[in-house]
Structure 1
Amino acid sequence: MRFQRVALENFKCYADADLSLEPGVTVVHGVNGSGKSSLLEACFFALYGSAAIDGTRESVIRTGEDETVVELWFRHAGGEYHLERSLKDYGDRVSHDCVLEGPDDESWEGATAVDGAIADLLRMDADAFVNCAYVQQGEVNKLIHATPSERQDMLDDLLQLGKLEAYRERASDARLGVNDVLTEVRGTLTNYEEQVEAKEDKDLHERLNALESERNETTAEIERLEEQVETAKGTRDDAQAVLDEHEEKREELEAIEDDVEELQAKISETERERDELKERIAHSRAAADDHEAAVSEHLTESSLDTDAVRADDGTVDVDAVHAEVADLEGRVEDLQERINELSVEIGSKTDEAERLEERAEELAAEAAEKRAEAESLAEDVEAAETELADRESKVDALEDDVADEMAAFEDAPVEFGDAADLLEERTAERDVLREERDELRAEVESLRDRIEEGERLLEEGKCPECGQSVAGSPHVDSLDEDREQFAEKEAALEDRRDDVRAAQERIEAAEALRDVEREVKSLRERRENVEQLLAEKESTVAEKRERRESLLDEATEREAAAEEKRAGADAARDAADDLRSDLGEANGEKTAAKARIEILEALVEASEALADAREDVERLREERANLAASNEERREWLAEKRERKTELEAAVDESVVEEARGEKERAETYIEKAEAELASLREERDRLQNDIGGVRGEIEELEGLREKRDAARERVDALESLYDETQDLQEMYGELRAELRRQNVETLERMLNETFDLVYQNDSYSHIELSGDYELTVYQKDGETLDPDQLSGGERALFNLSLRCAIYRLLAEGVEGAAPMPPLILDEPTVFLDSGHVTQLLTLVETMRVDYGVEQILVVSHDEELVGAADELVHVRKDSTTNRSTVEVGETPTADLLADD
């Protein structure tokens, strides 16, 4: 990378300036305070904007103006770039605008976009730029004074090793995240396994098979009984048919006998037959009375409204009773449906109670985990508080160090903070004394020359040019006066030399005070860093305390939730018990309804028998009345009747009738018992069917739990594999970062020794060692070691410049030309160097340019040796009236330099 041109408008002390910058070594020189450093600060500001400003944005806008504009043209990686930044002060705010134009019409607008593009182009941010390529004024010893950890952070950031650490931390975060998920999934898997085990312990399939077998046996028994009931009903009906037929034949026989008797006995016989009919009527009436009593009994059992359903003849409204039976059968169906619903609800409530109980256990386990984590955080807080106490002690120690350093100002001629001004004042006094010394030295030399010439002329006696006598010549006449003046001037010169030496001693004392100020500044910065770390640690401790309290609150909430779930489970069990009670009531009501149906059916049967008996009475009465009228006809039929009587007497067998009556009674008794047993079996079958439904539901739930358990196992296996992969990735990034750091440390140590050997021409030191922890050690020839801080001011400056150049070389060689390095910028690098060290600095600059191929080196200095070695000079002047700085390019005579200084 090479700066080509920079243009300023109202930047610090510049109203406007436009400077072209060429390859090679460019030295910017001028008197102190003329604006040399501001010129390079403008380039730094153009690249990095607000990050390059040491102070507020308003501080870089020229006094009296409200806007500054800086433009920078540069070449990078073969492409041409133009960068423009501007700040405008609106009073209550300062706006920041910038545009970067690159090759192929590529451009970026806005501070964020441009800052990102510059960081990508140079592969470094503002801090890295300062640590690598830009040695700012007064910061020449920055890397030496930095702690090893600070030095490590600087170099890791420059070499982009921090990205590997960021990647490692991301991998660590990912591993922790995977572990959290893995722990959660493992808990879920354990929960599923426990549920599956609990279900499997119930032997659901064996239980289902047993229930189905029992149901099948019950169903078979129901079918067997139903078949036997049908058979019994057939037997009953057949017996009834035999009885009916026998009754008909018997009645016919009696009728024939009556006819015969009537025919035979004529009126007497007819009267006897009528008497017999009367007996039969009485018998039918008795049967009717029995049936009527049965109707009354069944009617009472049925709880029906007697007035509503009973007729005047003692029978009942069969249609109304049938309607009541239909209602009862509908009620039985409704009750059966209700029984089924209650069975399902009981199963649901039971399952709900189990789920709530399981959730309560999960919540209780979570609460225990939260409390355990809270206890762990309490231990962390205790350890952190111990560390806080150590850091507070460190702050106090730094305060003591600051106080020790400040003791140097107890007898100082100035207050703390004014040492730089004192140094500048004493330097100016020394410079004035030097000028006076040089003037006196010139006068002494001039007088010496005049005296020597006058003495030579006196000795020769004649003028060598004109040959005349020198007696009375001005040279000879003023010889005594010159000798007297020479003695005075020589004494004054010696006094002035003493004054210069004393001034130099005062300068050294002022430099010592300035060094104390810098050391105090460094100590205060370190104290501020420690205080910042202390504040961050206190914040972390507070966060952990809050986290612990939060965990305890969460544990309490989960414990309360667990109790709530247990209460819900108890409520669900109570609800299930209530439902079982309802189920029992429904079963009882259904049984009662069925019993009432049987009573009503018996009522209908008795009522119909009563009606039939009464019809018989009426029919017999009519028959008895007709006997008298048919007396004559029966005589005619006598022969037929006798023949028929003979047939009927042969057909009527009382033993058959008795047997039929017994069959009917046995069949009816069996049917009654079988119907009751069938009702019980059907209820048992319904119960078994409900239980089978519940077991099948549990089996389906078991299968679902097995599928969830298997899925959870697969996920645990996948997460364990992913956890191992993230751990391997984390270790790989850490090992790669350590290996790259080791290689870079070895290379940097080699380059540092090469550079230091080049610039430090002294037999006192053997080599420099850079440890893996970025500790710097200087080895003397005798094997003794020194900390770089123990070097003299000039040696430390050369040491740090060597380190900066070595870092620059490492970065330039490390990227293999893919991202050319920015110019090497040195702002007042000679401030701690004497003339011998300046020569070594020149050697370093020349080596960086020629041997290591640094295309552009920019140096701010008023040192004559550096000015003389420059490829191009940029002279900066400031108008004391307008306080405006201007720049000129070109060689400047030494006399002009001396005049400016």
Structure 2
Amino acid sequence: MRIEKLIIKDFRSHRLTKVSFTSGINLIVGQNGSGKSSLLDALLVGLYWPSKPKDLKKEDILRVDGQSTEITVFFEKDGISYQLHRNITRGVAFAKYHDGSSWKHATETSQKAVRDWMEKLVPYDVFLNAIYIRQGEIDAILESDESREKVVRQVLGLDKYENAYKNLLEVRKEIEQRIKSIEDYLKSTENLDELIGEMEKELSGALREINELSPQIPKLERELERVEKKLGELDELEKSLNSLRLEIKEREGNRKRLETRVEGLEKRIAEGEERLHELEEKVREFNELREKAELYLRLSNFRKRYTDEKARNEKLAENYRAQIEAIDERLAELSELEKRLGELEKEKKELERKLRRLEKDAKAYEDARSISSQLEGLKKRLKLSREEIGDLAKEIEDARKRKEEIQRELEEINEERGGLKNRVKERNRAIMELKKAKGKCPVCGRKLTEKHRKEIIEKYQAELKEVSLSLKELDERERKLRGELVRIEKVLKRERELIAAKELLDQISGLEERLKEYDLEKLGKRAEEYERVKGELNRLEGELESARTELEKVKALEKKRTLTEGKLRSVEEKLRKLDDELREMGFSGMEELDEKLAGLEPTYRRYLELKGAESELQRERKNLERLRTELEGVKRELDEENRTLKRLTEALAEKERLYSREEHERTREAFTSLREELAGKRARLEALERKRDETMENLGKLREEKERRREKARELDELRKARERVQELREKVRRYKAMLKEGALARVGDIASEIFEELTEEKYSGVTVKAEENRIRLGVLYNGREYGLGFLSGGERIALGLAFRLALSLYLAGEISLLILDEPTPYLDDERRRRLVDIMQRYLRKIPQVIVVSHDEELKDAADRVIRVSLENGVSVVKEVELGV
């Protein structure tokens, strides 16, 4: 797999970024936070979304103020070019391949379909573990033997063999369960032949009994049919008799009810005729009272209208007079207010002149207060006194000088260590030559005797011990110097704090000088006077505005007074017309009208009592007519009921002569006995037939089960053989996994040794890798002895972790064509970073394409292509850098 191009839009800090990659080593360089690692995250998301590492959250993907996140990856695998596009925000995706002439879709256009397609092309776990070395993975290698074993297992793909080993165990367990199930089945069906014999006997007995019982049932059915017919005839005759008796009883009840209705109707007709006479008298009296009642009603309605309208209009007149009086009072007040308006205008002009004289001092006072507030804020921000700032400046200057001295000392130590190591190599080489030499001494040229050889070797070994002690002393000196350097760096980091404190101090001094120019006490009093005059002027302007607003109401009030006077005259005219109407009706006043109404009231009340008599009279006449018609109908119905009753009584007597209860009971008992006998024999026959059918069916099943038992026995033999084969295969997988792991770790250890020796300037002669159960132990060789990770300094531990992880990927170099490194240099010192350049040039070029992300500029020396990422106005900008620049 080889990445050709990456296009991302609105991803984290990238607005629109296009990056091309070539074969060889591609270096993405930039400061921390510039967005360089985001390019690798975008590549991972573009290929495998929604699969992603746990620390990559969807809500962190979309750029601030961005519209939608889009990622397009162009890559090549096995000679075929692919294009994969995703719109994360909208959930759209597609994958295409180039057939030599045009792009064609490789799968459905959905996020899941594209992810599944990519998983088949390059599995996610393979990409994340074998191809992509993320930040923090070196820490996982150094964290513990268990976490290191997990990384190795994932990178080398040992998990698939472990899974195969476990899965084969599950297969074996499944086979054993099936063997147990078949064995249990065969044991439970041992007596199958005995069951078949017993069932054949039962079938023979059932068939014999069926042959005996079958001819008896038709004879019983014919006899039962004859008795049933006779019983039906007797049942029908009894039913007819009971029906006639019931109908006669009902008819007699109807006749009695009809006779009672005739009596009731005749009584109601007599009462109705008497009521009709009374109503005719009331109607006559009602007509005589009609004229006086209508006069009462007319006078009563007039009185109500007169009273209501007079009261309403008198109230309106009183209200209008009160409004006119209030308007007159308000107009008088506004006349006085107009005189006051001129006085207020003069006061306003005087206050405005006074305010202009005070305005300059008030503004100066505000400026002084602002300077004072700034000064207080700056003093709060200043954490150091002048003496502390001076002390810190001296401390930083001393630290800078000491740092230069330490760096010179470290360079001297490195030079001295290099000389000592060369001396060690020379002495080791001389010892080896002395051990092999014969005749002539390779050192002094004299004749070589065993005594002379031994003396020189002992001398050189003693010298090597002294050199070893010197190297340890140098290491101890370097350790102390680097510890001191760490403390010095902490001091130097405070330089920004010093600069900020000096700037604050300069600002404070400037503000204090400016503040001396102001007389705060005098300006404060003038400012208080300014605010007081300003408040008085505001109050006066409010009073003037209010007065002008009130004076604008004069015309409206005068117009309202004219309209109200017109309304008052209209109401008074209505009151005069009401009194004229009263006199026209013949009354001088309300007292005479009330006397007239009191005299007519008894007549009107009697009139109201008789008002419904006429309609009641009409209803009573109709009711009498209806009762007379109903009486005639009931009498006709009674005659018809008597004739029917006579006919039914004669028919009952005729049927009672033909019916015998004793004969009926005998026939019913004979029918019941025959039916029970027939039902018993039918039930027995059905039971025998069911038993026959069930027995035959069970015999068939048992014969099938017998055949199945033979098949299960054959299957049991096959399963036992399969169990042996699975166990053999499981042992082969276990041995192969162990061999693969052992061989891979041996080769990884060799590669890691080479890289680690270079990173540590051959201080250590190798790396040891030992596999144990669920853990992998790392060690180093120093002076011929093996030491654990605790023996190493912090920088050496990081170098070992990097060497081991690179070795894992280089071991797979024949299988993978792409390697991605994200920040491989954290915590490495300058010398080890320089050596990493050599290692990249020598080892990583074995892999066709390498992509490295780093903030370390020195790695440019090892790169074939350099891509720089910077942050401009919060947006990541990507540019290609010419090599050598």
TM-score (norm: length of structure 1): 0.42
TM-score (norm: length of structure 2): 0.43
